Chain A
Amino acid sequence: MTDTGMTGTGMTDTGMTDTGLMDTAPGVYDRRPADAPADAMPASRQPSETVVEAEALSLTFRTPDGPVHALDNIDLMIEKGSFVSLIGPSGCGKTTLLRAIADLERPTGGRITVNNGTAEEARRARAYGYVFQAPALFPWRNVIRNVKTPLEVMGVPAGQRNVRARKALEVVGLQGFERKFPWQLSGGMQQRVSIARAMSLEPPILLMDEPFGALDEITRDNLNVHLLDLWNRTDLTVVFVTHSIPEAVFLSSRIVVMSPRPGRVLRVIDSDLPRERALDIRENPKFLDIAHRVREALREGHSYD
Chain B
Amino acid sequence: MTDAVSAAPLPRRPSAVRRAWSAYRARGRTIPVLTVLVVLVAFWYAAALWVNADRAERLIGQTGEEGIVAYATAVWNMERPALPAPHQLAEAMWDQATGQPVTSNRSAVHHMGVTIWSTLVGFLAGTALGIILAIGIVHVRTLERSLMPWVIASQTIPILALAPIFVVVLGQLGVTGVWPKALIATYLSFFPVTIAMVKGLRSPDILQRDLMHTYSATGGQVFRMLRWPSAVPFLFPALKVGIALSIVGAIVAEVSTAAQAGLGAWLLQGSYHGLVFRMWGALFFASALAIAAIAVITLIERMVVRSRGGTA
A binding-site residues for B, Cβ under 8 Å: 102, 104, 123-124, 126, 128-130, 132, 134, 136, 138-142, 149-150, 152-154, 181, 183-184
Give the CA-CA distance A181 to B230 in the complex, in Å.
15
A-B contacts, 20 listed (Cβ < 8 Å): A102-B214, A104-B210, A123-B214, A124-B216, A130-B210, A132-B210, A136-B211, A138-B208, A139-B311, A140-B229, A140-B230, A141-B309, A142-B309, A149-B225, A152-B225, A153-B212, A153-B215, A153-B217, A183-B311, A184-B309
Give the CA-CA distance A130 to B215 in the complex, in Å.
9
User: For A130, what are the chain B residues with a Cβ–Cβ distance below 8 Å?
Assistant: 210-211, 214
Q: How far is the CB of A150 from chain B (nearest CB, A)?
A: 5
Give the CA-CA distance A183 to B305 in the complex, in Å.
14
Interface size class of B (residues with CB under 8 A): 20 to 34
Give the CA-CA distance A141 to B310 in the complex, in Å.
10
Nearest to B311 among chain A residues (CB) is: A139
B232 at the interface (CB under 8 A from A): yes
Q: How far is the CB of A155 from chain B (nearest CB, A)?
A: 10
User: For B213, what are the chain A residues with a Cβ–Cβ distance below 8 Å?
Assistant: 104, 123
Give the CA-CA distance A134 to B226 in the complex, in Å.
17
Is A153 in contact with B207, judged by CB distance below 8 angstroms?
no
Give the CA-CA distance A92 to B309 in the complex, in Å.
40
Is B310 in contact with A153, judged by CB distance below 8 angstroms?
no
B binding-site residues for A, Cβ under 8 Å: 205, 207-208, 210-217, 221, 225-226, 229-230, 232, 308-311
Is A154 in contact with B215, judged by CB distance below 8 angstroms?
yes
**Quick one: which of B208, B221, B232, B310 contacts A136, CB cutoff 8 A?**
B208
User: For A134, what are the chain B residues with a Cβ–Cβ distance below 8 Å?
Assistant: 207
Give the CA-CA distance A154 to B229 in the complex, in Å.
19
Q: How far is the CB of A180 from chain B (nearest CB, A)?
A: 8
The tally of CB-CB contacts under 8 A between chains A and B is: 59
User: For B214, what are the chain A residues with a Cβ–Cβ distance below 8 Å?
Assistant: 102, 104, 123, 128-130
User: For B221, what are the chain A residues with a Cβ–Cβ distance below 8 Å?
Assistant: 152-153
Is A150 in contact with B215, judged by CB distance below 8 angstroms?
yes
Nearest to B304 among chain A residues (CB) is: A140
Sorted nearest first, the 6 A-B pairs with minimum C-beta distance are A181-B309, A140-B308, A136-B207, A153-B215, A130-B214, A139-B311
Give the CA-CA distance A123 to B212 in the complex, in Å.
11
Given contacts A132-B210, A140-B308, contact A126 B216 (CB under 8 A): yes
Given contacts A126-B216, A138-B226, A140-B229, contact A132 B211 (CB under 8 A): yes
Q: How far is the CB of A45 from chain B (nearest CB, A)?
A: 25
Give the CA-CA distance A167 to B207 in the complex, in Å.
25
Give the CA-CA distance A276 to B251 in the complex, in Å.
76
User: For A136, what are the chain B residues with a Cβ–Cβ distance below 8 Å?
Assistant: 205, 207-208, 210-211
**Quick one: which of A104, A154, A181 contacts B311, CB cutoff 8 A?**
A181
User: For A124, what are the chain B residues with a Cβ–Cβ distance below 8 Å?
Assistant: 216
User: For A181, what are the chain B residues with a Cβ–Cβ distance below 8 Å?
Assistant: 309-311
Nearest to A197 among chain B residues (CB) is: B211
Give the CA-CA distance A10 to B208 in the complex, in Å.
30
Give the CA-CA distance A149 to B216 in the complex, in Å.
12
Is A123 in contact with B216, judged by CB distance below 8 angstroms?
yes
User: For B226, what are the chain A residues with a Cβ–Cβ distance below 8 Å?
Assistant: 138
Interface centre among A126, A129, A138 (most CB of B within 10 A): A138
Nearest to B210 among chain A residues (CB) is: A104
User: For A126, what are the chain B residues with a Cβ–Cβ distance below 8 Å?
Assistant: 215-216
Give the CA-CA distance A138 to B207 in the complex, in Å.
11
Nearest to B233 among chain A residues (CB) is: A140
Is B215 in contact with A132, judged by CB distance below 8 angstroms?
no
Interface centre among B205, B212, B213, B214 (most CB of A within 10 A): B214
Q: How far is the CB of B275 from chain A (nearest CB, A)?
A: 51
User: For A139, what are the chain B residues with a Cβ–Cβ distance below 8 Å?
Assistant: 308-309, 311
User: For B311, what are the chain A residues with a Cβ–Cβ distance below 8 Å?
Assistant: 139-140, 181, 183
Nearest to B204 among chain A residues (CB) is: A138
User: For A149, what are the chain B residues with a Cβ–Cβ distance below 8 Å?
Assistant: 215, 225
User: For A150, what are the chain B residues with a Cβ–Cβ distance below 8 Å?
Assistant: 215
Interface centre among B210, B211, B217 (most CB of A within 10 A): B211
Give the CA-CA distance A130 to B221 in the complex, in Å.
18
Nearest to A150 among chain B residues (CB) is: B215
Q: How far is the CB of A106 from chain B (nearest CB, A)?
A: 12
